Structure 1
Amino acid sequence: MGSPRSALSCLLLHLLVLSLQAQVRGAAQSRGPGGPGRVGGLEDRLCAQRSGAARNLSDPAPSCPGEGAKEQSGRALPKVTQRVTVQSSPNFTQHVREQSLVTDQLSRRLIRTYQLYSRTSGKHVQVLANKRINAMAEDGDPFAKLIVETDTFGSRVRVRGAETGLYICMNKKGKLIAKSNGKGKDCVFTEIVLENNYTALQNAKYEGWYMAFTRKGRPRKGSKTRQHQREVHFMKRLPRGHHTTEQSLRFEFLNYPPFTRSLRGSQRTWAPEPR
Structure 2
Amino acid sequence: MGSPRSALSCLLLHLLLLCLQAQVRSAAQRRGPGAGDPADSAGQGHEDRAFGQRGRAAENLTKPAPNYPEEGSREQRDSVLPKVTQRHVREQSLVTDQLSRRLIRTYQLYSRTSGKHVQVLANKRINAMAEDGDPFAKLIVETDTFGSRVRVRGAETGLYICMNKKGKLIAKSNGKGKDCVFTEIVLENNYTALRNAKYEGWYMAFTRKGRPRKGSKTRQHQREVHFMKRLPRGHHTTEQSLRFEFLNYPPFTRSLRGSQRTWAPEPR
Which TM-score tier does this pair reach, normalised by the shorter chain? 0.5 to 0.7
How far apart are residue 247 of structure 1 and its match?
Answer: 1.7
Instruction: Evaluate the alpha carbon distance shift between residue 253 and residue 80 of structure 1 in structure 2; reply closer, same or farther with a 3 A threshold.
Output: closer
- Three-state SS of the structure 1 residue aligned to 2:255 is strand
Cα distance in 2 for partners of 1:73, 1:268 equals 57
Cα distance in 2 for partners of 1:70, 1:114 equals 45
Cα distance in 2 for partners of 1:203, 1:65 equals 34
How far apart are residue 194 of structure 1 and its match?
Answer: 0.5
Instruction: Evaluate the alpha carbon distance shift between residue 268 and residue 171 of structure 1 in structure 2; reply closer, same or farther with a 3 A threshold.
Output: same
Cα distance in 2 for partners of 1:265, 1:28 equals 107
TM-score scaled to structure 1, two decimals? 0.58
Per-residue Cα deviation, 1:216-251 (whole angstroms, up to 9, x for no partner): 000000000000000000000000110011223558
Cα distance in 1 for partners of 2:195, 2:144 equals 14
Per-residue Cα deviation, 1:46-103 (whole angstroms, up to 9, x for no partner): 99999999999999999999999999999999999999xxxxxxxxxxx111101110
- 1:68 matched residue in structure 2: 72
Contact in 2 for aligned 1:50/1:62 (Cα 8 Å): no
Cα distance in 2 for partners of 1:125, 1:107 equals 29
Contact in 2 for aligned 1:119/1:233 (Cα 8 Å): yes
**More displaced stretch, 241-250 vs 117-126:** 241-250
How far apart are residue 209 of structure 1 and its match?
Answer: 0.1
- Three-state SS of the structure 2 residue aligned to 1:76 is helix
Give ranges in structure 2 of 5+ residues lacking alignment: none
Instruction: Evaluate the alpha carbon distance shift between residue 49 and residue 24 of structure 1 in structure 2; reply closer, same or farther with a 3 A threshold.
Output: farther
Provide the identity percentage: 90
Cα distance in 2 for partners of 1:209, 1:64 equals 38
Instruction: Evaluate the alpha carbon distance shift between residue 172 and residue 21 of structure 1 in structure 2; reply closer, same or farther with a 3 A threshold.
Output: closer
Instruction: Evaluate the alpha carbon distance shift between residue 2 and residue 56 of structure 1 in structure 2; reply closer, same or farther with a 3 A threshold.
Output: same
How far apart are residue 137 of structure 1 and its match?
Answer: 0.2
**More displaced stretch, 102-111 vs 13-22:** 13-22
Write the mapping of 1:148-159 to structure 2, written as runs, cut at 5 A.
148-159=141-152
Q: How many residues end up aligned between the 2 structures?
A: 262
Instruction: Evaluate the alpha carbon distance shift between residue 264 and residue 187 of structure 1 in structure 2; reply closer, same or farther with a 3 A threshold.
Output: farther
Instruction: Evaluate the alpha carbon distance shift between residue 77 and residue 31 of structure 1 in structure 2; reply closer, same or farther with a 3 A threshold.
Output: farther
Cα distance in 2 for partners of 1:105, 1:237 equals 28
- 1:87 matched residue in structure 2: none
Per-residue Cα deviation, 1:111-144 (whole angstroms, up to 9, x for no partner): 0000000000000000000000000000000000
Cα distance in 2 for partners of 1:77, 1:270 equals 59
Taking only aligned residues, the RMSD between alpha carbons, in angstroms, comes to 13.9
Give ranges in structure 1 of 5+ residues lacking alignment: 84-94
Cα distance in 2 for partners of 1:74, 1:130 equals 54
Instruction: Evaluate the alpha carbon distance shift between residue 259 and residue 187 of structure 1 in structure 2; reply closer, same or farther with a 3 A threshold.
Output: farther
Contact in 2 for aligned 1:54/1:61 (Cα 8 Å): no
**More displaced stretch, 126-135 vs 26-35:** 26-35
Cα distance in 1 for partners of 2:108, 2:252 equals 56
**More displaced stretch, 121-130 vs 254-263:** 254-263
Contact in 2 for aligned 1:260/1:272 (Cα 8 Å): no
**More displaced stretch, 167-176 vs 24-33:** 24-33
- Three-state SS of the structure 1 residue aligned to 2:84 is coil
Structure having the higher Rg = 1
**More displaced stretch, 247-256 vs 28-37:** 28-37
Instruction: Evaluate the alpha carbon distance shift between residue 113 and residue 260 of structure 1 in structure 2; reply closer, same or farther with a 3 A threshold.
Output: same
